[in-house]
Amino acid sequence: MNDFGPLYTINLFLTAVLLLAAQSVLAQSTVGTNVHVDIWNSETPIVQGSNEEVRGTQWYREEWTPGKVILRDNSITEIHDINYNTYEDKIIFRDGEVMKAYDPSQVRGFQFVDGSGKKTQEFITGISDRQHGIEPYDLMRVIYNGETKFLARHETIFVRNSGRDIITNKRYSEYDETITYYFLKDGNLIETRLRKRNILRDIGDNREALNDFIKSSDLRLRSEEDVATLLTFYDQIK
């Protein structure tokens, strides 16, 4: 594996990565370049019995979706169908009949795109925070990319024999996903929740102005969209 030198600090990394999409000078990497990709040796537990039911999913999206991957050599792959495996925290794509995963150490992030190639969602790596258990290669979803950033971490665990069906009484196993939200403000990562009290406390300042905006805009702050709207206003008054 190539040595790409020391990892960026949070601020420097995000400044570089979140602006990558705007840089047209980056080279394009073909899908499946050996240095970036390994055949996917899934660590997902194998369901032992044919009668065993598995609930939930290890996939971020139900459908394979066009996207592109930003690599550590600053190249961007061509658009191809990808999915994000939240159980293994890997970007997966199909190469014929074989599923392959991008080597996490080679990835800066990835984007889902629409039919015209426009970014619809973005995930990044490069944040390291021991307090919150986040490693440099962990993927985080960018919800709002302003001066104060709003991020989400998706994690999925597999729980075997997690319960019994209330009708058939048969045991089932399941994938259980959690989403943890963070602000990245002034170089500090702050865990938060989709609740007004938590959001205002974790932003930390301009509370009166934010409260007035919440009331006038009829925001509940129970959705990602509401928090992004609030942060857009917050960045304007800072």
Report how many domains make up the chain.
Answer: 2
Q: Across residues 86-104, what is the average pLDDT? A: 90
Length of the chain (residues): 238
Q: Across residues 206-218, what is the average pLDDT? A: 97
Does residue 118 share a domain with residue 79? yes
In a domain, 151, yes or no: yes
The answer on pLDDT for 23 being more than 60 is no
CA angle 189, 153, 144 (to 5 degrees): 65
pLDDT at 66: 97
Does residue 74 share a domain with residue 106? yes
Does residue 136 share a domain with residue 111? yes
Q: Of the ranges 16-20, 66-70, 165-169, which is most confident?
A: 66-70
Q: Which of these, 112, 84, 106, 115, lies nearest to 38 by C-alpha position?
A: 106
**Contact predicate 20/26, CB 8 Å:** yes
Q: Across residues 19-36, what is the average pLDDT? A: 45
Does residue 203 share a domain with residue 170? no
Q: Across residues 86-101, what is the average pLDDT? A: 89
User: 112 is in which domain, residue-wise?
Assistant: 10-192
Note the pLDDT tens digit of each residue in 165-210.
888 888 889 999 999 999 999 999 999 999 999 999 999 999 999 9
pLDDT at 160: 86
234: left (phi over 0), alpha (psi -120 to 50) or beta: alpha
Note the pLDDT tens digit of each residue in 107-134.
999 999 999 999 999 999 999 999 999 9
Does residue 63 share a domain with residue 27? yes
**Mean of the per-residue pLDDT values for the chain?**
84
Higher pLDDT, 141 or 95: 141
Residue type, position 188, single letter: N
In a domain, 4, yes or no: no
Q: Across residues 46-74, what is the average pLDDT? A: 83
